[in-house]
Structure 1
Amino acid sequence: MGNYLAKADLHLHSKASNLPGGWFSKLVGCPESLTEPMEIYRRLKERGMSFITITDHNTINGVLELAHLPEVFISCEYTVEIPEEKGKVHVLVYGITEAQHQDLLRLRNNIYDFVKYLKSHRIAHSLAHPLYSVQGTKITRSLLEKLVLLFDNWEVINGTRGDGVRYVEESIARAYDGWDKIHALAERHRIEPQRIRDRITFTAGSDDHGGMDVGRTWTAVEGAISKEDFLKGLWEGKTQVGTEELGDKRLLNMVCRVGYDFLKSKNHIPSEVRPITDYVFMHSDNPMVGMLLRNFLGIKSERSELLREIAKKLPSFTLERFLKSPSPQTLGELCLSLMAHGFPAFLKYAQKREEEKIKVLGREFGILNGRSPKVAYLTDTYHHINGVARSAKLIRQIALEEDLPFTIIVSNSQVKEEEKLINLEPIVEIPTPFYEELKMGLPNLIELMDLLEREGFTQVHIATPGPLGLMGFLVGKILRLRITFAFHTDIPTYARTYTGDPEVESLLWKAFVFLGNISDRFFVPSEHYKKLFVSKGLQYSKISTFKRGVDTELFSPYKRDEDFWSKRLGVKKHQRVILYVGRVSKEKGLDTFLYTARCFPEDLFVIVGDGPYRKEIEGKKPKNVHLLGYMVGEELATAYASSDVFLFPSETETYGQVVLEAMASGLPVVVSSKGASHEHVQEGVNGFIATKPEDFIEKLSLLLSSENLRRSMSQEALYYARSLDMRKTYIDYMLAIAGLGRLVHETC
């Protein structure tokens, strides 16, 4: 029988824990638990517990209802005061008599007398959740060292908490192994030690108040045939601890079950829904209800995870109902489902907040438990043709080739998962304002939270402020992850361009500044935007600039084809070509491009790209302007190299990647003085900078009238582009995102 493991859940509550547990429960008069002791008994037996107990707060009334059963022993969780610390702890005490319980109630205002009584009567006990604050008690190193002197058993797995603190609790306990350390502590604090062993051992319990998850965390004693054997094993520290998966699922079950029982006791649960809710909260085991519920919502999870799965599935179900039949009722259902959907995230935040406090305390003891960085790179655009999507694809490629800890996460119905690319199925896809063809997916909040936690990501990088990006920001905060944010697109200026409302622009700038200030790092692609953000209130210490290089193998003057445009457009050979590449949208300054084209009727002006402004451009362009739609890869590289000048009037560029591509292709450039494109240009050396439409005409005239000037600027543009090695700049950027290095181009 030596290998037989006797198990017991050593921390759980029944209806005898009948006082409110927090400010809200006090407000509504809801007790900590309403679970019947016999329900707890039955469920513990079903889950394989060898021995049964209940540890209600400062009472044994609940467990006394079961005390006649042979495998039950009487226990209690006492709130005990530490006089000089003006603090309190919870102590779990096992296998007591009613008389001993009365003695302990009298002694619990002084922890030293309380523990001395336990030791003198050889009563098994354990310090509950050692690093969690009880009734506002400040957990300090001094207090913990006193607890080391008093308790031989610590509870290191608590089912209502997350799994992120066990390492800290065990490490602190192990730091004081040995009588030499114990006696040194006793001398420092001038306290008589109550320890009976030189090594702290561990216990575990579910700390369940709702009855749904009892027995899913346990303490085991090898070879214990009787409850007396089990209690002796606890006293002697011959324990092993075990648990099923921890997390917010159990906390959700407990909080919702207690709330449901409270409403049910007040007759506030409609009779029509009781068969379903009783099944969900384990008051009934009707298999037909379970089968219908699972099939209706498509749920395949275990019974204990049913409530969380319902919260996960509800938004999709109610949104579909609302879209099919819009009405106040279906809208109300949708709103309620979103509240239910967000509740697990709220509980997860509470857990992570407590864990963070414990980890901070652990660092005082030199316990770091640091994890290697693993970055979730969230982008709302991936399969589209734009600079942000290209960056995401390149980062994935480099991560694969260099084995860097980056995974791209998207939410789009058109993207297939690949290595280092995860696609979360969107609940709905939302058209981008003013860019109807660009649809952004809204993922499931709980699925995103589970993904980031399950895969062990240590940080999230927000590449776009769309639905996925903003949800990722929220989840990063909930999970207490490092958050970095990249400003790729001047959305505030775009918004003003399309709406004509400066208030909208101002509001969006404030939103970006707010997000930047609560991020760990905020990346901008140019000095222009760094200065702009600082002027608008973003903390200087938060902001970094990054530069991206250009693929000089793809974009090269050697790709020039003298017949490219004559074949493509059916025009005369050797006509000079002035090129624009980018989105065809209002904010790109294409009216200036058309204005300039009218002044050079003998030359070709070509627009490569597409977007919402194309139809309007086609309606008013002069005959020498050609719109060709999107080009990519070798075709785009040939288009650049086969042109003569790159004219880029956009005033909202945050970086100007297409300007670099043009330079790498050997083109002199003419760009706007507004935005950040001009940071690539040295006036009169590798290009020109224009401040108003007339300047574009003047600068272009200079270039077209002098082949020597074009040739000279072409060479300088090529030198500049080749100085920015694309791979190196992206690796620098990725290392900076991960917190592994400083950006080469960061300015101090």
Structure 2
Amino acid sequence: MKNSLAKADLHLHSKASNLPGGWFSKLIGCPESFTEPMEIYKRLKERGMTYITITDHNTIDGVLEIAHLPEVFISCEYTVEFPEEKAKVHVLAYGIDEKIHEDLKKLRENVYEFVSYLKAKNIAHSLAHPLYSVQNTKITKSLVEKFVLLFDNWEVINGTRGENIRELEEKLARLYEGWDKVHQLEEKYKIKSLRTRPYISFTAGSDDHGGMDVGRTWTEAQALSKEEFLQALREGRTSVNTEKIGYERLLNMVARVGYDFLLNKGKIPSALKPFTDFIFMHSNNPMTELFLRTFLGTSAERHALLKEALDRVPKLALERLLKEPSTSTLGESILALALHSAPVFLAYGQKVEEKKAEEIAKSFGIIPKRKERLAYITDTHFEINGVARSSRIIRELAQKYDLPLDVIAVWDGNVKESNLVLLKPAFEFSTPFYEEFKLRVPTLITLLDLLRNYSRVHIATPGPLGIMAFGVAKALGLPTTFTFHTDMPAYAYTYTGSPELMDISYKLTALLCNACERVFTPSEAYKKLLKEKGVREEKIKVFKRGVDTSLFNPSKKEEGFFQRKFGVQVKGNVVLYVGRVSKEKNLDAFLYCAKSFPEDTFIIVGDGPYREEIEKKKPRNVYLLGYVTGEELARVYASADVFLFPSETETYGQVILEAMASGLPVVVSGKGASHEHVEEGVNGFIAHSYEDFAEKLGRLLESPRLREFMSAEALRYAQSMDLTETYLDYINKLLGRTGVRV
């Protein structure tokens, strides 16, 4: 038996939609479409459409060019007005003829007369994109309720609109199922309903203007002929279906119309034309396709080639600029970056529409449901530093407690772990003044495609990935939070000596913070600093991080550990520093103390750009062990006697907690936030100068009893800061939850 499921794309445009579609196209005189009706016909047939139509704006000139073909029925998209509200809507009419078209054009100024005519002539029709504003019409609750009174069919999937609007429009339609509800609206507005059935059925169409995505969104019905298909539309026996929708459709459409505009004016370079013609589906040369796919390194479907090209163009242009620097290649790079960012602006436009639709839906009590998932963005994950360590802890807890979050970083390896998404770098460069730390940059389009799958975004680092993710999250309308983990402006001053650069950096940080929903900082000291720098106080939240006391504890102490493991001949007491070996850590104070106590052993664990300088300046009793992690680091802590941490730019000082958990009294700087862990003279000392560091360290080195007392107090404090509990509280705040749920 012949399959009777018929398909048709019920919303699409040809060159007959020849008026400008917006202010810019009007400015340059570019019409909405250049697509030939026969191109549309062939592509629809290739994509499996059973029946063919074209719905140009207020004209049937396009569809008439193919109306002689057996699968084609004549249709049109009319702009029709609600006279009492000065509101306009688009109505799709199907299976009409030239006489009916002329009649309908005369009725467009009154939607009630227009729809009455459609009903009287038994013409299949549908309300196009109900929650989309036509010609700046304000969509109100009253207008939507009048839609309910007039239209039996609503187009709920439109290929160029936001991917979440379908849910809202379907729920709105179903909210008014039943004649009782229709009659209530008749009474409310004193308008007689023109509905013929108690429920609203749905249609779908691509709304394509460029010809590239026609037939990728469609309406289905059981029908063996055009007449049966149109009858199914009239009777509401339809279902809707689509391939994936998103900004890609809008990108193809806008780019194809723009390309055709330039093509008609002879502005496409002849060297590029064979390739751009293939991308925009003007040609089907298999050799061109082979070259393009090889050049772009992609096996993507043809309708996705434009996006693939835009994704790769910036890297190619910048590589060319570096190889052949000139005004011309600079211009090419700027153009490539501009084109590469176009999808973000298109996605932003779609999300603005979607937000407006959500506000309308909320006025009916319809709250859109989105799957909760947090994107935790970090420029550092595998490196050895506090921010990377935090991201690893968060990922481990997400795995353990099945929390809806992914840590997202950029990495060139093939690591595959749950709750971890690694983007391939398009560019990679060393951090200024810190060459061993690489900044890796993904493509903007890759990030856009990823983040639209999340409900919230958290920025853990203001590096390239963090800044890009912030911009994309804003374009997608995602709630965004930020953690001030690192005092980058202070670092900038330390390395450059420029107070102007530091001031600019703080101003930029304040802009970022104020643009976020919430800003987290790990200490009261930095909450105060951010407030002083212009961040609004109500946005700032302090979060505390605990320490893993099962890993870091005094039981890990081993006699002779440093000699056995590192070849360090210990004499006297062991004074320990753990952290980056960099200028901002104020390690010269550590060296000053080492020179002050030549009979004791001073050990630095970590690495960084300042190591070479330390090697040159250090006295003989200072040893640099490089990076140490895990159990071995726990034994390092526990086998030392005092922890000396002179850094003045810490926003928290996780290593201080690790030292305390290992039973070490601590001596820390009074600047930054390190001192917030310390109760002066109880679990450690707070120093304010080199001499102060030496004096307070001396007290501990000279008094075993004082060390023992402070060790016990340090351990007690660390044990009160449970790592799992504090991090779970932090994660739930990032997720926007009010209580801890695991």
TM-score, normalising length from structure 1?
0.96
Partner AA of 2:561 in structure 1: F
Q: Report the equivalent of 2:279.
A: 280
Q: Report the equivalent of 1:501.
A: 498
In 2, Cα distance between equivalents of 1:626 and 1:568: 13
| Counterpart contact for 1:432–1:438, Cα < 8 Å | yes
Deviation at 1:285, TM superposition (A): 1.4
CA RMSD of aligned residues (A): 1.8
| Counterpart contact for 2:584–2:647, Cα < 8 Å | yes
Deviation at 1:492, TM superposition (A): 0.6
In 1, Cα distance between equivalents of 2:305 and 2:575: 63
Q: Report the equivalent of 2:688.
A: 691
| Counterpart contact for 1:732–1:741, Cα < 8 Å | no
Say if 2:175 is the partner of 1:175. yes
In 2, Cα distance between equivalents of 1:335 and 1:291: 28
Partner AA of 1:505 in structure 2: M
Deviation at 1:360, TM superposition (A): 2.1
Q: Report the equivalent of 1:191.
A: 191
In 1, Cα distance between equivalents of 2:626 and 2:305: 50
Q: Report the equivalent of 1:413.
A: 412
Q: Report the equivalent of 2:33.
A: 33
Q: Report the equivalent of 1:551.
A: 548
In 2, Cα distance between equivalents of 1:177 and 1:406: 38
Residues 545-624 of structure 1 aligned to structure 2 (within 5 Å): 545-567=542-564, 575-624=572-621
Describe the SS at the equivalent of 2:69.
Answer: coil
Q: Report the equivalent of 1:107.
A: 107
Deviation at 1:325, TM superposition (A): 4.0
Deviation at 1:415, TM superposition (A): 5.7
| Counterpart contact for 2:577–2:644, Cα < 8 Å | yes
In 2, Cα distance between equivalents of 1:567 and 1:96: 92
Say if 2:63 is the partner of 1:66. no
Deviation at 1:420, TM superposition (A): 1.8
In 1, Cα distance between equivalents of 2:101 and 2:548: 77
> 1:26-78 deviations in whole A, cap 9, x for unaligned?
11000011111222122222222222221111111212222233322221111
In 1, Cα distance between equivalents of 2:616 and 2:134: 72
| Counterpart contact for 2:656–2:666, Cα < 8 Å | yes
Q: Report the equivalent of 2:259.
A: 260
Structure 2: tracts of 5 or more residues without a match: none
Taking a change above 3 Å as real, the CA distance of residues 228 and 517 of structure 1, as seen in their structure-2 partners, is: same
Q: Report the equivalent of 2:659.
A: 662
In 1, Cα distance between equivalents of 2:285 and 2:632: 65
Partner AA of 2:423 in structure 1: L
Describe the SS at the equivalent of 2:626.
Answer: coil
Describe the SS at the equivalent of 1:245.
Answer: coil
| Counterpart contact for 1:554–1:634, Cα < 8 Å | yes
Partner AA of 2:331 in structure 1: G
Taking a change above 3 Å as real, the CA distance of residues 38 and 685 of structure 1, as seen in their structure-2 partners, is: same
Describe the SS at the equivalent of 1:92.
Answer: strand
Say if 2:244 is the partner of 1:245. yes
| Counterpart contact for 2:566–2:625, Cα < 8 Å | no
In 2, Cα distance between equivalents of 1:483 and 1:211: 37
Q: Report the equivalent of 1:492.
A: 489
| Counterpart contact for 2:728–2:740, Cα < 8 Å | no
Q: Report the equivalent of 1:467.
A: 464
Q: 1:542 aligns with which of 539, 544, 550?
A: 539
Partner AA of 1:463 in structure 2: A
Say if 2:516 is the partner of 1:519. yes
Deviation at 1:153, TM superposition (A): 0.5
Moved more, 556-565 or 227-236: 556-565
Say if 2:636 is the partner of 1:627. no
In 2, Cα distance between equivalents of 1:217 and 1:373: 27
Taking a change above 3 Å as real, the CA distance of residues 700 and 272 of structure 1, as seen in their structure-2 partners, is: closer
Say if 2:358 is the partner of 1:359. yes
Residues 214-253 of structure 1 aligned to structure 2 (within 5 Å): 214-223=214-223, 225-253=224-252
Deviation at 1:479, TM superposition (A): 2.1
Partner AA of 1:397 in structure 2: E
Moved more, 370-379 or 18-27: 370-379
In 2, Cα distance between equivalents of 1:624 and 1:289: 69
Deviation at 1:417, TM superposition (A): 2.2
Q: Report the equivalent of 1:6.
A: 6
In 2, Cα distance between equivalents of 1:575 and 1:692: 24
Partner AA of 2:344 in structure 1: A
In 2, Cα distance between equivalents of 1:433 and 1:743: 40
Describe the SS at the equivalent of 2:197.
Answer: coil
> 1:448-473 deviations in whole A, cap 9, x for unaligned?
222233xx321222111111121221
> 1:183-236 deviations in whole A, cap 9, x for unaligned?
00110111111111110001111111111111211112202x332222222111
Deviation at 1:572, TM superposition (A): 6.1
> 1:621-677 deviations in whole A, cap 9, x for unaligned?
222222222222222222222222111111100001111111111111111111001
In 2, Cα distance between equivalents of 1:600 and 1:11: 83
Residues 381-400 of structure 1 aligned to structure 2 (within 5 Å): 381-400=380-399
Describe the SS at the equivalent of 1:84.
Answer: coil
> 1:571-591 deviations in whole A, cap 9, x for unaligned?
765611221111111111111
Moved more, 569-578 or 43-52: 569-578
In 2, Cα distance between equivalents of 1:564 and 1:41: 79
> 1:3-22 deviations in whole A, cap 9, x for unaligned?
51122211111111111000
In 1, Cα distance between equivalents of 2:566 and 2:54: 84
Moved more, 306-315 or 329-338: 329-338
In 2, Cα distance between equivalents of 1:703 and 1:58: 88
Taking a change above 3 Å as real, the CA distance of residues 265 and 146 of structure 1, as seen in their structure-2 partners, is: same
In 1, Cα distance between equivalents of 2:558 and 2:225: 90
Partner AA of 2:384 in structure 1: I
Moved more, 70-79 or 252-261: 70-79
Taking a change above 3 Å as real, the CA distance of residues 572 and 79 of structure 1, as seen in their structure-2 partners, is: closer
Describe the SS at the equivalent of 1:204.
Answer: strand
Describe the SS at the equivalent of 1:291.
Answer: helix
Partner AA of 2:227 in structure 1: E
Describe the SS at the equivalent of 1:628.
Answer: strand
In 1, Cα distance between equivalents of 2:306 and 2:115: 40
| Counterpart contact for 1:559–1:638, Cα < 8 Å | yes
Residues 320-331 of structure 1 aligned to structure 2 (within 5 Å): 320-331=319-330
Q: Report the equivalent of 2:725.
A: 728
| Counterpart contact for 1:412–1:429, Cα < 8 Å | no
Say if 2:462 is the partner of 1:478. no
Taking a change above 3 Å as real, the CA distance of residues 446 and 250 of structure 1, as seen in their structure-2 partners, is: same
| Counterpart contact for 1:733–1:743, Cα < 8 Å | no
Moved more, 231-240 or 145-154: 231-240
In 2, Cα distance between equivalents of 1:503 and 1:29: 47
Residues 276-355 of structure 1 aligned to structure 2 (within 5 Å): 276-355=275-354
Taking a change above 3 Å as real, the CA distance of residues 573 and 528 of structure 1, as seen in their structure-2 partners, is: closer
Describe the SS at the equivalent of 1:7.
Answer: strand
Q: 1:678 aligns with which of 665, 675, 679?
A: 675
Moved more, 165-174 or 500-509: 500-509
| Counterpart contact for 2:637–2:662, Cα < 8 Å | yes
In 2, Cα distance between equivalents of 1:571 and 1:3: 83
Alignment length (residue pairs): 741
Taking a change above 3 Å as real, the CA distance of residues 328 and 742 of structure 1, as seen in their structure-2 partners, is: farther
Partner AA of 1:226 in structure 2: S
In 2, Cα distance between equivalents of 1:371 and 1:231: 35
In 2, Cα distance between equivalents of 1:725 and 1:282: 60
TM-score, normalising length from structure 2?
0.97
In 2, Cα distance between equivalents of 1:324 and 1:422: 32
| Counterpart contact for 2:311–2:445, Cα < 8 Å | yes
In 1, Cα distance between equivalents of 2:253 and 2:592: 68
